[in-house]
Amino acid sequence: MKKVLSQYPALNILSQFFIILFSALCFAVSLNMFLIPGDIYSGGVTGISQLITYSLKQFTPFGNIIQTGTLNFLLNIPLLILSYMKLGRRFTILTVVVVAIMTGFTLIIPVQQVSANPLLNGIVAGALNGLGGGLTIKFGMSAGGIDIIALVINRLVQINVGSLSLLINSVVIVGAGILYSWEFALYTLISMYVTSRVVNSIHTNEQRLTAFIVTDKEDEVVKSIYDRIHRGITILDGRGGYSKKTRNTLMIVINRYELYDLEMAIGEADIHAFVNIIQSTRVNGNYLNRDQQNKLKQNKT
């Protein structure tokens, strides 16, 4: 599939738009059909939006002044500005589109109960959120919220992103327990756990991967990779065990979030290249982080 997308840029753009629509629909269905009617809270900014709208309905006469989806969009605005400043233009623009379409879907899709079983609501909602979140991250975007906060703080103080997300989500869990019931707070915890497991099965940003690329078009592949990502490439001498033909092997270490760009770059240069990608347990030495890569891109431009 990636080889076809690399040959037809219009299809690549269309596929990204489809991913945005599908992910936004997953988030909206999860919120309006499982989380809200099931009194279960989502993680991050969406969960905070639920807590605020619930508090308005229970303790003030302004219960219907704003919907959860609209409040979620408003709370994401300062985070999107922060994303543009710290995480880059392309990432932010795609995230804005995801958040905007998700908000539109939450206004169109009615809030209605599918199941009265809170455990089922939590599991299904978590799976839908994980599916939408995993796909957006895999294709170089996000649904906004605490992902932006966690990534920015991680670059400032080097605290694990997963720990930061858990800390922020614990506020939602405690709030759900205080405002509604501790039993439903536990269902919220189950939903968040399912979300994290699904996201991890689709995409993990912090994984280091090592790619070995066997190709007859060494120069073209190297140039195509350098046009998309800034990583060092090592050229290894190789020889086929059966054919005895001499063929160079390229070795490159990347982050998990760069895998899509790497595969697209290889596909554009040599659709017949043999690629073996393995997970790296540990990487030491001169390994560029995202900020250093962005500086290199700016200097190159």
CATH of the domain at 296: 3.30.70.120
The 3-state DSSP class for residue 57 equals: helix
| Residues 243, 144 within the same domain | no
* Number of neighbouring beta carbons within 10 Å of residue 260: 16
| Residues 134, 70 within the same domain | yes
- pLDDT tens, residue by residue, 195-250: 877 877 776 555 788 999 999 889 999 999 988 888 889 998 888 788 778 888 99
Tell me the C-alpha distance between 229 and 37, whole Å: 44
* Number of neighbouring beta carbons within 10 Å of residue 141: 23
- pLDDT tier for residue 251 given thresholds of 50, 70 and 90: very high
Summary mean pLDDT of the chain: 81
| Residues 295, 237 within the same domain | yes
The token pair at 259 is 């895998």
| Residues 191, 264 within the same domain | no
| Residues 56, 196 within the same domain | yes
The 3-state DSSP class for residue 246 equals: strand
pLDDT for 155 equals 64
- pLDDT tens, residue by residue, 120-174: 999 999 899 889 888 887 777 777 777 777 667 766 665 555 556 667 777 778 8
Domain count, the chain: 2
Alpha helical stretches, state H, the chain: 2-7, 9-30, 44-59, 68-86, 89-108, 118-138, 146-157, 161-179, 182-202, 218-228, 259-269, 290-300
Residue 6 pLDDT > 80: no
| Residues 156, 8 within the same domain | yes
Residue 41 pLDDT > 80: no
Among 181, 202, 223, which residue terminates a domain?
202
pLDDT for 21 equals 94
Contact 36, 68 (CB under 8 A): yes
| Residues 119, 39 within the same domain | yes
Residue with tokens 């120069």: 219
- Where b means 16+ CB within 10 Å and e means fewer, 215-237 reads beebeebbebbeebbbbebeeee
Residue 190 pLDDT > 90: no
Q: Which residue has the higher pLDDT, 21 or 61?
A: 21
Contact 72, 213 (CB under 8 A): no
Among 147, 172, 202, which residue terminates a domain?
202
| Residues 192, 213 within the same domain | no
| Residues 245, 193 within the same domain | no
| Residues 146, 248 within the same domain | no
| Residues 150, 237 within the same domain | no
The residue type of 104 is G
Please state the pTM of the whole predicted model: 0.65
What is the domain extent for residue 245? Answer: 208-300
